[in-house]
Amino acid sequence: MINKILIANRGEIAVRIIKACREMGIATVAVYSEADRDSLHVQLADEAVLIGPPPATDSYLNMGRIVQAAQAAHSQAIHPGYGFLAENADFARLCEKEGIIFIGPNSNALELVGDKVRARQTMEKAGISIIPGMKSIPKSVAECEAAARTIGYPVIVKASAGGGGKGMRIVGEENDLKPAVEAGMREAKSAFGDESVYLEKYLEEPRHVEFQVLADNFGHMVHLFERECSIQRRHQKIVEETPSPALDDGLRAKMGEAAKKAMQAADYNNAGTVEFLLDRNSNFYFLEVNARLQVEHPVTELVTGVDLVRQQIRIASGEKLSMAQNDLRQRGHAIECRIYAEDPANNFLPSAGKILFVKEPKGPGVRHDGGIYSGWDVPIYYDPILAKLIVWAENRDLACRRMTSALDDYAIIGIHTTIGFLKDIINHPEFRAGRTNTGFIKRYFESWGEKGKDPGMLRPVLAAAAFDELNPAAHVQGAESRPSRKERFSPWQSLGKWRIGGI
Ligand code: ADP
């Protein structure tokens, strides 16, 4: 059994992994950049090692330095979390070479699924439907033009090494193809060091439905059902839930089997996710494999009762899967909202700076996976995710109500966040009816910023008031009338005499 793990990550996911390790009696080593000296993961780990200056290329992406830190601390294993080195086959290979357990898939599987074109070829060979489109990297724009005519517009240009929506361009007609391919190549080159792009048919307003898979090193595999991740902004997920309102038991079983078949074809081990696009006629197409723990893994944990980080560690330690497909059930409904340090009223500009005060929601069925605390400075260097708010309830309607109530109770003061935006998504009638697809945000929330303007100039007042709240003696007087029930339960109520309407 592994008894010490280095966590090659930061923020909420590093905290999540540290907590799983603690429960398993495993010691933890955090790594951090100079910008993260005061970060929560550094405080919670048993040991912490400074690995470099703030830019990720000099710290969280510095493979040699991280392996060195693991060796110096006598960690048998490295958990990469998500992002940074999580899907880097060279890093997995370096760990393998140095005799350190990489908590993730083997480097060959990682390499295969990290290349979208190779993954498409493998899946097609395995009999899984792929999105219509090119099956090899084109050698010229003329080749793309010919292929696009066969596929039919609209098409989407994608980077083969892609991730995070980088290099993607939707093209509606032939005139726009050449500049889109060229721009996609430039973006892919700068993001991944590989300019290979290819074309797929652009499906109109599909749903994004993905399946969680666990596979041990002995050929045993289960799926832990689906996650519906159609609420996306610029092709990036912001709200996820399970079960998907779009699946019935028959379709669920079919997609679950296809997901397992995909992972078998890739010789995959450990935790991974097979992503599909689902069209209006319930046809599903392989999109890609995410070869790591997903940001949205908690919704699966709440509905299946399986701790995915614990399972990852057990599998990496060489244990056999302790569950069979028939042991797994979906119970109730879970929804996750990603809380970003961004200003939705200002084109989602990152909002770094000091969190003057944070009040996390609590209550039955409410889980908060966070990496923040009052007084912490959000650095500008990394992904702006602050935390994830996850709720569980007996059914979807109750889960939506619970999420609304939890978001109402959530206050972060000092920086802009997406909390208000998320609340409006959850309460949108189409979301409540389960009628979501990947075009949802564009269709209903394109001009949300106008209405949702954050009272930026009031922030210093709010912040002062929040500190005031921490010192109740400062505002025992001033409440002239008893607040309404809604006001009493609003975090703004905690601002006492400073309460300001219309927020
Ligand atoms: P990345 O790896 O960059 O995150 P993905 O291939 O996983 O990109 O796609 C991300 C999202 O982009 C999908 O969930 C979907 O919303 C959209 N998308 C990708 N490919 C297509 C397609 N062929 N048709 C329609 N939407 C697509």
Residue 361 has, within 13 A of its CA and on its CB side, a CA count of 27
Q: Which residues of the chain have pLDDT under 70?
A: 450-503
And the tokens for 201? 């048919």
The confidence score (pLDDT) of residue 474 equals 45
Interval 266-282: pLDDT, tens: 999 999 999 999 999 99
The confidence score (pLDDT) of residue 456 equals 43
Task: Sketch out the chain's domains with CATH numbers.
Answer: 4-103 (3.40.50.20), 132-201 (3.30.1490.20), 207-455 (3.30.470.20)
| 8-state DSSP, 133 | B
The confidence score (pLDDT) of residue 485 equals 52
The sign of the dihedral angle between the CA atoms of 280, 284, 287, 290 is positive
Mutate to test the pocket of ligand 1, among 287, 292, 437, 440 (most ligand atoms within 8 A of CB): 287
Mutate to test the pocket of ligand 1, among 235, 238, 285 (most ligand atoms within 8 A of CB): 235
Contact call for residues 18 and 46 (beta carbons, < 8 A): no
Say whether 292 is catalytic: yes
Active-site position among 10, 16, 252, 292: 292
Burial letters 353-377, b for 16+ CB under 10 A, else e? eebbbbebbeeebbbbbbbbebebb
Give the span between the Cα atoms of 486 and 79, in whole angstroms.
43
3-state SS string for 163-188: CCCCCCEEECCHHHHHHHHHHHHHHH
The confidence score (pLDDT) of residue 1 equals 80
Contact call for residues 32 and 66 (beta carbons, < 8 A): no
Pocket-forming residues, ligand 1, beta carbon under 6 Å: 131, 156, 162-165, 168, 200-203, 206, 208, 232, 235, 275, 277, 287-288, 438
